[in-house]
Structure 1
Amino acid sequence: MYKEERLPQNAKEGILFLLIISIISVNTIAPIIMGLERGFSKENYLETLKIIPFMWIIVVLLVRLVAGPVVGKVIPKFVGQTDGFNARVLMNTFMNVTVLSILLTIIGTWVGTKHISLEPFQNFFHSWFRNFGVAFWIELLIAQPIARLAMKKIHARQSRQARMI
């Protein structure tokens, strides 16, 4: 079977791929959403930096334990055998961002406000649509392409080294 050079080929590469995407995502999406929510200021940005490590752990856990398994089961229903790489990446990104943005609209509010309340449910649709839009475009235009470029470069280096042997 053909191995896509822009995607991870083993567990070690999978971890690196996840780290690249999650670090870029958390460090861009969280500050943008907080800025849209509370205003763009130095104080709000510094406050966001305090919660980013916690959000990063939450995001990685949600990707591995919730979004990954759910999307893995659902995506075959939407992607056909003849669909190309870009169609598959777009659908995978859309589904992952949908699942994660739903969960993080609630959990992110709790982490950001430092208490569990009904507030994220009361403002869910207003917040979720905005959060989904921010996350989807960051993933599609920044995080995913950078991670795929890193995989492509790793695989090109491995091919050069294999040819030298």
Structure 2
Amino acid sequence: MHEETRLPRNGKEFILFLAIISIISVNIIAPLIMGFEFGFTKETYIETLKVIPFVWIAVVLLVNLVAKPLVSKLLPKFIGPTDGFNARVLFNIVFSVTILSILLTVIGSWIGMREISMEPIHNFFYIWPRNWFISFWVEALIAQPIARFAMKKLHESQYTRIQRAKA
């Protein structure tokens, strides 16, 4: 099988890939969810901007400590060796978004409210489907394609540099 240029190949590239996805996602998903929850006002947006850095830290930690290990165990149960890149990416997005949206529906609410309460747990089944829907489409149509494009361009520039060095 040929080398995949749209995905990270080492730790440094994974950090860049994760940074691109998480920064884009948090800056789109958080304002949308807060807007639907509290109204699309300037005040709501400003309050969202105040908590975005804390939500971003939570996202990065949850991706590395929870989602990535769980997804790596789930993927082999649903995809086979002959499944293509797009199938693998789609299952990865579905599993990652599901795990993270479940956790962040509660944890993100706590960060946004600046307190731990039972409210997001009591309202979970009203809030979570909307959060999952928003997150899935942002990941599938915006964040992940941009990150994969960045990886492809990075690998193309690395290949070009190697070819120039050989010449």
TM-score normalised by the shorter chain: which range applies? over 0.9
Q: How many residues align?
A: 165
Runs of 4+ in 1 over 3 A off after TM superposition: none
Report the TM-score when normalising by structure 1: 0.98
Alpha-carbon distance in structure 2 between the residues aligned to 1:125 and 1:30: 18
Answer whether contact 1:98 1:132 (CA < 8 A) is retained: yes
**Amino acid in the other structure paired with 2:28:** T
Query: Cα RMSD over matched residues?
Result: 0.7
Describe the superposition over 1:132-154 as per-residue Cα deviations: whole angstroms up to 9, x where unpaired.
Answer: 00000000000000000000000
- The residue number in structure 2 matching 1:104 is 104
1:74-104 Cα distance to aligned partner (Å, 9 max, x none)? 1110011110000000000000000000000
In the other structure, the counterpart of 1:45 is: 45
Q: TM-score, normalised by structure 2?
A: 0.97
User: Following the alignment from structure 2 to structure 1, what is the Cα–Cα distance between the partners of residues 10 and 109?
Assistant: 35
The residue aligned with 1:157 is: 157
3-state SS in 2 of match to 1:108:
helix
**Unpaired segments ≥5 residues, structure 1:** none
Identity between Structure 1 and Structure 2 (%): 64
> How far 1:2 sits from its partner (Å)?
2.8
Q: Deviations over 1:43-87 (max 9, x none)?
A: 100000000000000000000000000111111100111100000
Unaligned runs of 5+ in 2: none
Return the letter of the residue paired with 2:142. Answer: I
Q: Is the 8 A contact 1:6 1:148 kept in 2?
A: yes
